[in-house]
Amino acid sequence: MNNKTIFSGMQPSGVITLGNYLGALKNWTELQDEYNCLYCIVDMHAITVRQDPATLRKSSRNLLMQYIASGLNPEANIIYYQSHVPAHAELAWILNCYTYMGELSRMTQFKDKSSKHNENINAGLFTYPALMAADILLFQTDVVPVGVDQKQHLEITRDIAARFNAIYGDVFKIPEPYIGKAGAKIMSLQDPSRKMSKSDEDVNATISLIDDPDTIIRKFKRAVTDSMAKVTFDEQNQAGISNLLNIYTAITGETIKNIEREFEGKGYGEFKAKVAEVVIEELRPIQQKFEELSKDNAYIDNIIKENAQKATYLATKTLRKVQKKVGFPPLIRSK
Ligand code: TRP
């Protein structure tokens, strides 16, 4: 234990993919013994694009169970719903007042999402980074594991924190990014120039954490490759095969060189079947655990309740300090 705090979160939209698992969750499980970890289900961020309420509720619970099924210990880590801890919204409001329109309009995620959801460019989508900054800063976070697509949001978080500290003294710890191991960025099986995304409309593009073995075999069979007929890591000319190599190495821990050697002179069919096999074996215990958790509502409810309390306790400490600094009057407590 190093007493440092890690915070990260995922949006509960759709079913999580092999990409989320290998790119984030699997790394998180390796950090849990060393750090104090908070893993949030960011349902407040999710509503920056339109969600069906019943689906959102279900996906949030599924995500929480998938965190646990993937190996995160809910007693050692704080796994909770963002919306259960009002301090997120309260700090986000304050931070909004220390964040500039100019810097928000430079965010690439805002530009992407507003062009994709042209009919609903709402203010929440625009101020999304202030809420994310609040998530992180509430817990005096040391380290934030994020993918490259979220690095810009972490940088703005650091800027907002430094700006606030420059005015009021050392209120927030300035968080550092933690970029996971190389090779953990998993791409679409149908278009290896794009990230594997749970919002992809092409079901063959992604492996879901709850796909059954036959589905996994079929999706890998259909994965896009090339006509070079050799299993080598070459992202320029063999993006599809390189992606499969990344998946294989992330699961087995074998080096790319060794894997290339293993499949020298062998066909893509054989390689794909082997990749499918290791994925199936990796996901099997996760799926079993997920099944068990799905049947144990009382246990999950208890995790939800207790972790929300723990997170609220920690978050409120920072929030009260901030409220005091900006000049809000103290609460009057009854004797
Ligand atoms: N914006 C992140 C994403 O879409 C999710 C997120 C919200 C997050 N708050 C966070 C990640 C705080 C790390 C830390 O992937």
Give per-residue pLDDT as tens, 194-216: 999 888 889 999 999 999 999 99
Residue span of the structural domain in which 129 resides:
5-178+296-326
* 37 and 173 housed in the same domain: yes
Nearest to 211 by CA among 10, 11, 13, 17: 17
Say which CATH number the domain at 104 has: 3.40.50.620
Buried b / exposed e along 79-108 (16+ C-beta atoms within 10 A)? bbbbbbbebbebbbebbbebbeeeebeebe
Residues 36 and 119 in one domain: yes
At 183, the pLDDT band (50, 70, 90 cuts) reads very low
How many independent structural domains does the chain possess? 2
Ligand 1 centre distance from Cα of residue 2 (Å): 23
277 and 308 both lie in a single domain = no
pLDDT tens, 52-93?
999 999 999 999 999 999 999 999 999 999 999 999 999 999
**The predicted structure's pLDDT at residue 148:** 82
Do 94 and 217 have their domain in common? no
CB 1 within 8 A of CB 34: yes
pLDDT at 128: 98
Task: Tell whether 142 is covered by a domain.
Answer: yes
pLDDT number for residue 333? 86
In a domain, 316, yes or no: yes
User: Which of 6, 20, 31, 45 has most ligand 1 atoms within 8 Å of its beta carbon, as the pocket-test mutant?
Assistant: 45
Share of the chain above pLDDT 70, in %: 99
Q: Closest by alpha carbon to 157, among 127, 179, 131, 133?
A: 133
Same domain, 288 and 314: no
* Residue 183, in any domain of the structure: no
Residue 256 pLDDT grade (very low, low, confident, very high; cuts 50, 70, 90): very high
Distance 132 CA to ligand 1 centre (A): 6
pLDDT at residue 283 greater than cutoff 70 = yes
Residues 277 and 321 in one domain: no
Q: Is 198 a catalytic site residue? A: yes
- Which residue type occupies 40? C
- Domain assignment of residue 184, yes or no: no
In this structure, is residue 67 part of a structural domain?
yes
**pLDDT tens-digit series, residues 298-327:** 999 999 999 999 999 999 999 999 999 999
Mean confidence (pLDDT) of the chain: 95
201-215 burial code (b ≥16 CB/10 A, e <16): eeebbbbbbbbeeeb
Of 5, 6, 8, 27, best ligand 1 pocket probe by most atoms within 8 Å of the beta carbon: 8
Residue 113 bears catalytic tag: yes
Report residue 179's pLDDT band, with 50, 70 and 90 as the boundaries. Answer: confident
Residues 99, 209 within the same domain: no
Side-chain-side CA neighbours of residue 13 (13 Å):
16
Same domain, 37 and 136: yes
- Per the structure block, which two tokens stand in for 123? 């203010």
Predicted local confidence at residue 291, as pLDDT: 97
Q: Are residues 131 and 244 in the same domain?
A: no
Q: What is the pLDDT of residues 17-34, one digit of tens each?
A: 999 999 889 989 989 999
For residues 15 and 60, the answer to whether their CB atoms sit within 8 Å is: no
CATH number of the domain residue 249 falls in:
1.10.240.10
Residue nearest to atom 13 of ligand 1 (CA): 8
133-143 residue pLDDT tens: 999 999 999 99
How many whole angstroms from 220 Cα to the centroid of ligand 1?
29
